[in-house]
């Protein structure tokens, strides 16, 4: 199979790394690596119309994905997720162009499937057979099932108060699960300490270059579903930040190949008031974030006190003319009721946080009634 994947490039210092061997972060500066493609070699004749005959899954964008040989793809059916025009909720807010991209339809019920499908496929391509991950929950579930399908071992470290759904699903899929007394950042330290001895490859958010490639397909789908015209605003619940960073990167690639223009949606990063390091950094005008102390929130996916990609998230927000907002757990809970009541869409707390943020941003004038707004429901309702 012909592929266009050229090399890995440090997102901070620009140093080039080989993609034919396993890589984590930049060997010089320790920051995340980005996959780069020979986009100039894509045939000029490659046009959006060519996608139409392809399966409705994220693999339809294979020219812009890092898997070199399709036989390594590990797939559980990563369907294109629907983009739903939420008219009743829009009426409620006086916002006619309100849409939700519903990521809950993906395998394991969250958008984490996109990133882990890519990371596990790439691990298979590189003959890696032991993976380890610190997780707040959904990434662990997604890794466990994809690793099971690929016959690769999955070693999971997560907080002991992670939702039961995540703990149980990992165990059902045969992963080695360790529950720790601490947060995802503490779990990350354990993986870092033990990985050399255990022979594990670390698939932590943005310490592995391919999860973000899976996440960027959210941006590709969004662009395609809107006829290659991006919306005015994207509201996105932010933990480790791969979603925002991935979409940002994906839009840049689409512009390079001439499929979209210069316009970018304003990225609005939503965090929980109980763990809002990116919001704090944004409000303080900083380009990186301080670790958050005593992180707590019902939105477990947002309970990420420190993100290695902080500078990339803040850059995407800044360059897109967006902003970052915190919402309380009470507001999240209200939104978890409002959305299904108005639209019949059941959400995870993280998805509901975007609705709570919208309310805030409409009242302070950041979003106006003429904006076309897309909320990301990053996962389904789970107990």
The stretch among 9-17, 155-163, 216-224, 232-240 that binds ligand PLP (CB under 6 A) is 232-240
Q: Note whether 277 binds ligand PLP by CB under 6 A.
A: no
Q: Note whether 108 binds ligand PLP by CB under 6 A.
A: no
Q: Which is nearer to ligand PLP, 110 or 121 (CB)?
A: 110
Give the separation between CA 215 and CA 58, rounded to whole angstroms.
Answer: 10
Nearest to 320 by CA among 352, 358, 363, 366: 366
Mutual orientation of helices 138-150 and 164-172 as an angle, nearest 10°? 10
- What is the phi/psi pair of residue 351, to 5°? -65, -40
Q: Note whether 310 binds ligand PLP by CB under 6 A.
A: no
DSSP 179: E
Give the separation between CA 71 and CA 73, rounded to whole angstroms.
Answer: 6
Q: Which is nearer to ligand PLP, 103 or 343 (CB)?
A: 103
Q: Note whether 271 binds ligand PLP by CB under 6 A.
A: no
Q: Which residues contact 174 (CB under 8 A, 6 or more apart)?
A: 144, 148, 154
Return the residue nearest ligand PLP (CB atom).
301
Q: Note whether 240 binds ligand PLP by CB under 6 A.
A: yes
* Closest approach of ligand PLP to the CB of residue 45, in Å: 34
**Are 297 and 272 a contacting pair, CB within 8 Å?**
yes
Q: Note whether 348 binds ligand PLP by CB under 6 A.
A: yes
Q: How many CB atoms lie within 10 A of CB 80?
A: 17
Site size with ligand PLP, rule: CB under 6 A: 16
Q: Note whether 322 binds ligand PLP by CB under 6 A.
A: no
Give the separation between CA 195 and CA 176, rounded to whole angstroms.
Answer: 14
Q: Note whether 238 binds ligand PLP by CB under 6 A.
A: yes
- What is the phi/psi pair of residue 146, to 5°? -70, -40
Q: Note whether 243 binds ligand PLP by CB under 6 A.
A: yes
The β-bridge relationship of strands 98-102 and 373-377 is: parallel
Q: Note whether 382 binds ligand PLP by CB under 6 A.
A: no
Q: Which is nearer to ligand PLP, 63 or 322 (CB)?
A: 322
Give the separation between CA 74 and CA 117, rounded to whole angstroms.
Answer: 6
Q: Which is nearer to ligand PLP, 63 or 270 (CB)?
A: 270
Q: Which is nearer to ligand PLP, 122 or 303 (CB)?
A: 303
Q: Note whether 138 binds ligand PLP by CB under 6 A.
A: yes
Q: Note whether 114 binds ligand PLP by CB under 6 A.
A: no
Residues of the shown chain interacting with ligand PLP in the complex, contacts defined by CB under 6 A: 110, 112, 138, 205, 237-243, 301, 348, 350, 378-379
């Amino acid at each position: 199979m012909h592929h266009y994947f050229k090399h890995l490039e440090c997102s901070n210092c620009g140093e080039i790394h080989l993609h034919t061997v396993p890589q984590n972060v930049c060997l010089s500066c320790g920051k995340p690596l980005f996959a780069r493609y020979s986009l100039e070699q894509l045939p000029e004749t490659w046009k959006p119309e060519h996608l139409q005959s392809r399966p409705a899954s994220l693999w339809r964008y294979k020219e812009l994905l890092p898997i070199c040989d399709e036989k390594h793809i590990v797939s559980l059916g990563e369907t294109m997720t629907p983009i739903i025009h939420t008219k009743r909720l829009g009426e409620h807010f006086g916002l006619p162009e309100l849409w939700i991209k519903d990521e809950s339809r993906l395998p394991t019920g969250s958008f984490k499937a996109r990133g882990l499908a890519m990371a596990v496929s790439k691990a298979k391509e590189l003959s890696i057979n032991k993976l380890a991950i610190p997780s707040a929950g959904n990434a662990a579930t997604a890794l466990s099932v994809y690793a099971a399908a690929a016959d690769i071992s999955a070693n999971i470290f997560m907080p002991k108060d992670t939702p039961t759904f995540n703990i149980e699903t990992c165990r059902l899929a045969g992963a080695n699960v360790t529950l720790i007394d601490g947060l995802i950042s503490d779990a990350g330290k354990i993986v870092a300490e033990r990985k050399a001895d255990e022979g594990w490859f670390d698939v932590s958010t943005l310490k592995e270059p391919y999860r973000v490639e899976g996440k960027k397909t959210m941006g590709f789908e969004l662009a395609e579903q809107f006829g290659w015209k991006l919306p005015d605003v994207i509201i996105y619940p932010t933990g480790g930040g791969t979603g925002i960073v991935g979409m940002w990167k994906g839009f840049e690639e689409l512009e390079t190949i001439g499929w979209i223009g210069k316009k970018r949606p304003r990225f609005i990063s939503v965090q929980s008031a109980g763990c809002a390091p990116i919001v704090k950094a944004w409000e303080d005008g900083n380009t990186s974030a301080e670790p958050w102390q005593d992180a707590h929130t019902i939105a477990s996916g947002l309970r990420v006190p420190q993100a290695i990609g902080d500078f990339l998230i803040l850059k995407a927000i800044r360059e897109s003319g967006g902003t970052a907002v915190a919402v309380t757990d009470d507001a999240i809970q209200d939104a978890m009721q409002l959305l299904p009541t108005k639209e019949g869409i059941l959400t995870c707390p993280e998805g509901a946080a975007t609705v709570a943020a919208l309310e805030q941003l409409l009242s302070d004038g950041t979003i106006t009634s003429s904006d076309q707004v897309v909320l990301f429901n990053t996962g389904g309702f789970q107990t």
